[in-house]
Amino acid sequence: MAVTGRVFACIAVFAFVSSCYAQSWPVRPVRIVVPAAPGGPADVMARILAQKLSESLERQFVVENRPGAAGNIAMAQVAKTAPDGYTVLVTTSAYMVNPVLYANAGYDPFKDFAPVTVAAATPNVLVVHPAVAAKTVQELLALVNANRGKFSYAHPGTGTTPHLSGELFRLSFNLDIINVPFNGAGPALASVVGNQTPVAFVALAGATPHLKSGAIRALAVTGARRAATLPDVQTMAEAGAKNQESETMLGVLLPAGTPREIVGRLHREIVRVVAQADVKERLGALGFEPVANTPEEFAAYIQAEVNKWSKVIRDANIKVE
């Protein structure tokens, strides 16, 4: 009994020390790793968080860009860092897609990280050149089916969520339509504006200026609800195309094993940050809306996204070079 008592006492002391350590976090600078080059949405989100968290927690948060291998190298490196709260990952939906798309992404999306929150997200949007006769999703389906093999759709690259959105759409409605990959959203949109590819699936942010100018026309957004920047554009479900939800998220994660108190504190701070008016404005300019869900909700989201895109990647036989 005495031995058992000492064991419980040691456990209690360890738990107390861990709790105190977590409550004092951070006591030194924190790295925010972005597995992409500067300038993209994840980088912008990371820099917003770095600035705001440095102010509120009175410790320096430093953004570190590590592009390469579609983000796999950086995410694998972060997965192996000490779970002490001093290395934070800010990434996109590639986090859920890459382990399915690549034979060895270098990390396990379920075991190697502690989800903190989806800070913000943006839907994809189905757009067409104004010369396309279809004004609705249903009209586009009828047009493509009447001209099998003659239509193509542009997207920003193999394995991106717009590409997967397009393949989900194609598979769901058994469409004979050719997917045309580009190296980024800019070239994909330029192809639609020039009517080289009459249809495209792209992230909302990049498409918005072209939509406002009338250079392209939106048929539907792929979000569960209408986008704040395009309130008159239906969701795919409203347009009669159900189960087409997809988005690009900006997620925050920590290495697995990070104390729950640190995960919880970082979550609370991010919830506070993305609720601020100036942050909402900066995210809105990118086409993103704040989400700030709980760690448990983010974990369930990761599972659902991996399951969904695994099926699309397998059924569409998507492969990376």
Give, in order, the Cα–Cα distances in Å from 109 to each of 64, 253, 296: 21, 10, 14
How confident is the prediction for the chain on average, in pLDDT? 92
Number of Cβ atoms within 10 Å of the Cβ of 139: 15
Percent with pLDDT over 90 in the chain: 84
In whole angstroms, give the CA distance from residue 46 to residue 196.
Answer: 35
CB contact set of 245 (below 8 Å; sequence gap of 6+): 222, 223, 224, 236, 237
The Cα–Cα gap between 269 and 246 comes to 27
Angle between helices 72-79 and 94-101 (to 10 degrees): 100
Q: What is the pLDDT of residues 159-173, one digit of tens each?
A: 999 999 999 999 999
| Reported confidence tier of residue 7, pLDDT bands at 50, 70, 90 | low
Q: Find the mean pLDDT for residues 187-197.
A: 95
β partners of residue 290: 120
Query: What's the CA gap between 199 and 11, in Å, rounded?
Result: 61
How distant, in Å, are the alpha carbons of 5, 36, 197, 258, 303 from that of 46?
A: 46, 11, 34, 19, 23
**CA–CA distance, 263 with 300 (Å, rounded to integer):** 16
Lowest mean pLDDT among 5-14, 20-29, 63-72, 166-175: 5-14
Here the tokens at position 97 are: 């897609």
What six digits make up the tokens of 63?
A: 């953004």
Q: How confident is the model at residue 8 (pLDDT cuts 50, 70, 90)?
A: low
**pLDDT reading at 17 higher than 70:** no
Q: What is the DSSP string of 99-118?
A: HHHSS--SS-TTTSEEEEEE
Question: What confidence category does residue 97 fall into, taking pLDDT thresholds of 50, 70 and 90?
Answer: very high
pLDDT band, residue 294 (cuts 50/70/90): very high
Confirm if 129 and 230 have CB atoms less than 8 A apart: no
Q: Evaluate if residue 300 carries a pLDDT over 80.
A: yes
pLDDT (tens digit per residue) in 214-235 = 999 999 999 999 998 899 999 9
User: Quick check: 313 pLDDT over 80?
Assistant: yes
pTM for the whole structure: 0.88
pLDDT, position 9:
47
**All domains in the chain, ordered by first residue:** 28-122+247-315 (3.40.190.150), 123-221 (3.40.190.10)
